[in-house]
Chain A
Amino acid sequence: MTATAVRVDTAPAARTKRRRRSLGWVAVLPLLAFVAVAFGLPAIAMLDGAFTAKDPATGATSYTLDNLTTSLKGAYLTALLGSVKLSAVSAALGTLVGLPLAQAVVSSRFRALREAVLTASGVLANFGGVPLAFAFVATLGNAGVLTRHFGLTDKGWDLYSFWGLVIVYLYFLIPLMVLTITPALDGLRVQWREAAQNNGATALQYWRFVALPVLLPTLLGGFVLLFGSAFAAYATAAAMVGSSIPLVTLQIADAISGNVLVGQENVALALSLDMVLVAGLVMAVYLPLQRRSARWLA
């Protein structure tokens, strides 16, 4: 605005501006059109299918809430709760472990270590999946190296269990926490610590009354993000445990491919809708928290 105000000949400037605006539309339009087709169509199909029932005898379709109620009953409900429990436990542990690790990395004098850890975190947080599952099977599975070496099976260890999955999930959740919390730790000013020390505060008091309150929105946001990430994870669990542990992602996969019962596709879509609602809730909590932490640490 100020740029045009100081110009003497406003007419050509206005024309350039208008051309720029239309250029903006022309360049953004393909992106929006693509997302509308490649993302919008499946999303609408999911929404439509979740509320549709097909009569097997006549082939007629009608709108109903049956799929949604089915998706919240029996084995499906168990799976949903199992996913929530697994995600909550691993997200909490990931937060608790990620914070000191990030602090150790941030306060380190070695720049190379910091770069390596952050890059590795970026890789591990997003691209674990199948290779990660197999690395853990080779390490702690029934025939895994550590299992054989230490005879862990006799001591009651089982990788293909709830806690086994938690340990595997932490492998990508802790890096995600490190990535989330590092900018916030960078934003903790040295002056705050010095001011606290000058006022006679111990290190513990500094953390309890200064650092943690400032970090709290980021920590909570990170927890929610970790929860969402664990909740959506499918590849790792599928490659590792098959469907021996009730998880909503595994249930959806079974229902889509007709592994257990035929004709459960619409229940799968209803379960997917449940997942989207949970993920949406996660984002609705995460974004305001992130904005709040950004205000302090700008």
Chain B
Amino acid sequence: MARLNLWRWGVLGLAGLYFLVPLAASVVFTVDVPGQGLTFDAYTQIFATDGFVSSLLLSLELALATIAVVLLLMVPAMVALRLGAPRLRPVVEVVCSLPLVVPPIAFVAGIGTVLKWGPDHLSRTPLFETFVAIQNPDFPFVLALAYVVMALPFVHRALDAGLRAVDVRTLVEAARSCGAGWPQALVQAVLSNLRGALLNASFLTLALVLGEFTVAQLLGFRPFAVWIVNVSGSQAQLSVAVSVLSLLVTWVLLLVLAGFGGRTRPTSRG
């Protein structure tokens, strides 16, 4: 038994080393600048650096839009699948897994081609206005649309795990026989029981959007992750500092969520 314990701690120790050293070294890298000694400039400069606030705000706005759209689409569909229409369940499952087969880079290649149809073929139709509007650099809604698609597998998994834990049909019937109307039964009985799953789905989507680089960069927009890469050329320390912070913030958020929502059983497998 003692040998087993030794083996286990050895494995855990090595893994801890591999996973923690880059984080620790990054912190050292940002505060111990060659030729300057110990300095916290990289962290104090963050807010003053051109583009930080605007790109972070853009990413947060995109995340909010993505979460709103993906939940509005997925929650009614998933609840309805439990209530009736079970035959549609495999359809929805396949549809939500499709984005896994198309890597982001291939997806963005397709999006870019579609967006080029705008000026090429549609310039005389009202659709052209839509194409221009969704590519507005202040708020590129096309990114939110792409992120909704990319978030579908995560959100499906999170909601499915949440719904598996509650008996939707019984809940609705109980609420109905207590005199609740359909909307009340759905909102107060079902949604309040899904709070954990909804939070889980939202946080996973938030993390996805905040870190997303591929689609945004190749479509020429500049949210947070793209800004980090752009700024890294001139300010290496700063880009590493922001990277470490963003990694830690996401990590803490999801840890908090796991402690909050997964007390009964681990739901954060995603």
Report the stretch among A4-12, A74-82, A205-213, A272-280 that lies at the interface.
Answer: A272-280
Among B97, B111, B207, max chain A CB count under 10 A is at: B111
Which of chain B's residues have a CB closer than 8 A to the CB of A238? Answer: 213-214, 217, 229
Report the stretch among A62-70, A97-105, A188-196 that lies at the interface.
Answer: A97-105
B30 within 8 A of A: yes
Separation in Å of the B199 CB from the closest CB of chain A? 14
Complex CA–CA separation, A177 to B79 (angstroms): 31
B211 within 8 A of A: yes
Complex CA–CA separation, A131 to B8 (angstroms): 30
Separation in Å of the A184 CB from the closest CB of chain B? 12
Q: Quick one: CB contact mask for B44-83 with A, threshold 8 Å, 1 for yes?
A: 0000000000000000000000000100111011011101
Q: Quick one: CB contact mask for B91-109 with A, threshold 8 Å, 1 for yes?
A: 1100101111111111111
B149 contacts A249, C-beta separation under 8 Å: no
Separation in Å of the A288 CB from the closest CB of chain B? 14
Among A38, A256, A279, max chain B CB count under 10 A is at: A38
Q: Which of A1-47 contact B (CB under 8 A)?
A: 17, 20-21, 23-28, 30-32, 34-35, 38-39, 41-46
A157 within 8 A of B: no
B105 contacts A276, C-beta separation under 8 Å: no
Which chain B residue shows the least CB distance to A129?
B211
A166 within 8 A of B: no
Which chain B residue shows the least CB distance to A44?
B110
A202 within 8 A of B: no
B244 contacts A122, C-beta separation under 8 Å: no
A53 within 8 A of B: no
User: Interface on chain B toward A: helix, strand, loop, or mixed SS?
Assistant: helix
Separation in Å of the B159 CB from the closest CB of chain A? 12
Which of chain A's residues have a CB closer than 8 A to the CB of B250? Answer: 123, 127
A187 within 8 A of B: no
Q: Quick one: CB contact mask for B14-30 with A, threshold 8 Å, 1 for yes?
A: 01001101110110111
A132 within 8 A of B: yes
Q: Which of A121-175 contact B (CB under 8 A)?
A: 122-124, 126-132, 134-140, 143-146, 148, 170-171, 174
Separation in Å of the A142 CB from the closest CB of chain B? 11
A289 within 8 A of B: no
B146 within 8 A of A: yes
A91 within 8 A of B: no
User: Interface on chain A toward B: helix, strand, loop, or mixed SS?
Assistant: helix
B197 within 8 A of A: no
Complex CA–CA separation, A120 to B253 (angstroms): 11
Q: Which listed residue (A105, A108, A128, A130) contacts B228, Cβ 8 A?
A: A130
Q: Which listed residue (B83, B111, B213, B242) contacts A20, Cβ 8 A?
A: B83
Known: A42-B107, A134-B232, A268-B109. A144 touches B84 (CB 8 A): no
Complex CA–CA separation, A273 to B101 (angstroms): 11
Separation in Å of the B264 CB from the closest CB of chain A? 12
Complex CA–CA separation, A249 to B108 (angstroms): 11
Which of chain A's residues have a CB closer than 8 A to the CB of B214? Answer: 234-235, 238
B22 contacts A135, C-beta separation under 8 Å: yes
Separation in Å of the A17 CB from the closest CB of chain B? 7
B255 within 8 A of A: yes
B254 contacts A145, C-beta separation under 8 Å: no
B37 within 8 A of A: no
B146 contacts A31, C-beta separation under 8 Å: no
Known: A119-B255, A134-B239, A238-B213. A107 touches B8 (CB 8 A): yes
Which of chain A's residues have a CB closer than 8 A to the CB of B247? Answer: 131-132, 135
Complex CA–CA separation, A49 to B149 (angstroms): 21
A219 within 8 A of B: no
Separation in Å of the A101 CB from the closest CB of chain B? 5
Known: A39-B149, A122-B254, A256-B112. A135 touches B77 (CB 8 A): no
Which chain A residue shows the least CB distance to B92?
A28
A276 contacts B240, C-beta separation under 8 Å: no
Which of chain A's residues have a CB closer than 8 A to the CB of B79? Answer: 27
Which of chain B's residues have a CB closer than 8 A to the CB of A115? Answer: 258-259, 262, 266
Among B22, B29, B72, B148, max chain A CB count under 10 A is at: B22
Which of chain A's residues have a CB closer than 8 A to the CB of B193? Answer: none
Which of chain B's residues have a CB closer than 8 A to the CB of A131? Answer: 211, 228, 242-244, 246-247
Known: A28-B81, A31-B95, A118-B269. A272 touches B208 (CB 8 A): no
A43 contacts B77, C-beta separation under 8 Å: no
Known: A126-B208, A131-B211. A28 touches B80 (CB 8 A): yes
Known: A131-B211, A256-B112, A275-B105. A24 touches B8 (CB 8 A): no
B251 within 8 A of A: yes
Complex CA–CA separation, A257 to B212 (angstroms): 18
Complex CA–CA separation, A37 to B103 (angstroms): 18
B171 within 8 A of A: no
Which of chain B's residues have a CB closer than 8 A to the CB of A108? Answer: 8, 12
Can you give 12 contacting A-B residue pairs, CB < 8 Å? A26-B80, A49-B113, A127-B211, A129-B225, A135-B240, A139-B21, A139-B22, A235-B213, A239-B229, A272-B103, A279-B103, A283-B97
6 A-B pairs closest in CB distance: A24-B85, A42-B110, A20-B84, A232-B103, A27-B80, A272-B106
